[in-house]
Amino acid sequence: MLWLDHGRDNYAGVSWSDVPAEDGRRIYITWMSNWRYANIVPTEGWRGAMTLPRELMLISTKEGVRVKQRVVKEVEMLREKHDSWKNEVIEDGNVIEKHLDSDTVEISVSFETKDKNIFELSVAEENTSCKTVIGYDGERKSVFVDRANSGTHGFSPSFAAKDEVTLLNTNNIVILRIFIDHSSIEVFVNDGEESLTYLVFPNDERKRLVLSSRDGGTVIHALDIYELKRIW
C-alpha cells in the first residue's frame, strides 16, 4: 500500500475541478483530522480544519511511479519576516535555539547527517516541557514526527504517538519544508516525495525552535524561517 501522507491527520482529500488548462495543476486539499478523535478534540468555537492546498504530480523512481506533492506556490505570498542560516554545524550533543515570534511559520531546512546519528528539530514552548519533535534517524533512514509531548493529548489513546516514513533514496542529505500553525504541523520531505500531517494542541505559550544532534554531528546546509501572515 502506498500512502499519500504518513501522518495521522490527512483524510478525505478532494481535488479542484475546472483548473484552467493554461495552469495545468492538479490541486487538492484534505480534512485535517482523524475519526478516532475528531469529535473529542479539545477545541472551543470550532472543530476541524483543512490542510494547505497541495499540488499533486507523478514522478518516476527506481521503485516505480509515485505521487509527489508540494504546497501551492501562492502560499509564498503570505511570507513576511525572514531569517536564515547557512553552513552551520551542530556538534554531537549540542543545541541551537531560535525564538519564534509568530504562531504561523514556514521552515525550510537542508541538512546532512552521518550514518547513525539523529537530527531533531523541535517546536518547543518557552516555559513548559511541551514540544513537537520532527527528526531524521540516520540509521533507520527515516523521517519521524513525535507529538507525544506536544501539549493536550489525553483525550484519546490514539493521539500521543510517534510516526515515521522510511526514505528509499537518501545519502543522508535531507530537505524538510515545514508549515506550523497554532494547532497543526505539515511536513514535506525532499520536495514533497513524502509528507506527514498532524494536529497539535499546545498551550498558549511563546514558541522556540530547537535544533539538536546526537550520536554524531549534523551539517545544516541552509535554514530559512518565514513568519506567515494570516489569511483572514
pLDDT at 45: 84
Handedness of CA 217, 218, 219, 220 (dihedral sign): negative
User: Structure pTM?
Assistant: 0.95
Q: Write the DSSP string, 86-154.
A: EEEEE-TT-EEEEEE--SSEEEEEEEEE-SS-EEEEEEEESSSS-EEEEEEETTTTEEEEE-TTSS--T
The grid cell for 90 is: 551542530
CB 12 within 8 A of CB 192: no
Q: Name the grid cell of 37.
A: 478523535
Grid coordinates representing 121? Answer: 528539530
AA letter at 93: G
Q: Which three cell numbers stand for residue 34?
A: 482523524
What pLDDT does 172 receive?
Answer: 81
Per-residue pLDDT of the chain (232 residues; tens, 9 = 90+): 889 999 999 999 999 999 999 999 999 999 999 999 999 999 988 888 999 999 999 999 888 999 999 999 999 999 999 999 999 999 998 999 999 989 899 999 999 988 789 999 999 998 889 999 999 999 999 999 999 999 999 999 999 999 999 998 778 899 999 999 999 999 999 999 999 999 999 987 788 999 999 999 999 999 999 999 988 7
CATH of domain 11-228: 2.60.120.560
- Give the pLDDT score at 208: 92
